[in-house]
């Protein structure tokens, strides 16, 4: 029986630059859209529903810093 396990040294998406994501040019996920809309409202900034996954990730990082919701 073979069990596949992820490489211990492989970076997770949180560690990779969104510009390097292989799916970064796809439409943002529903979870990203929901969180981004919440952050946008809190920051008083417009919400852009047409962002890609990578763009949404960067925007989330920016708005988290602005609202103090960043980790």
Residue 56 lies in a domain: yes
pLDDT tens figures, 19-58:
888 888 899 999 999 999 999 999 999 999 999 999 999 9
Give the C-alpha separation, 25 to 63, whole Å.
20
Number of structural domains, the chain?
Answer: 1
pLDDT tens figures, 2-13:
565 555 555 555
Residue 35 lies in a domain: yes
Judge whether residue 64 has pLDDT over 70.
yes
What is the extent of the structural domain holding 54?
25-67
Residue 44 lies in a domain: yes
Residue 46 lies in a domain: yes
Q: What pTM was computed for the model?
A: 0.73
Residue 16 lies in a domain: no
Residue 55 lies in a domain: yes
Q: Which of 63, 56, 44 is nearest to 18 (CA)?
A: 56
């Amino acid at each position: 029986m073979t069990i596949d396990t992820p490489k211990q040294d492989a970076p997770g998406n949180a560690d990779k630059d969104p510009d390097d994501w292989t799916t970064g040019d796809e439409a943002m996920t529903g979870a990203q859209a929901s969180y981004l809309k919440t952050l946008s409202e809190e920051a008083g900034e417009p919400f852009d529903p047409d962002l890609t996954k990578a763009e949404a990730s960067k925007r989330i990082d920016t708005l988290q810093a602005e609202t103090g919701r960043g980790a």
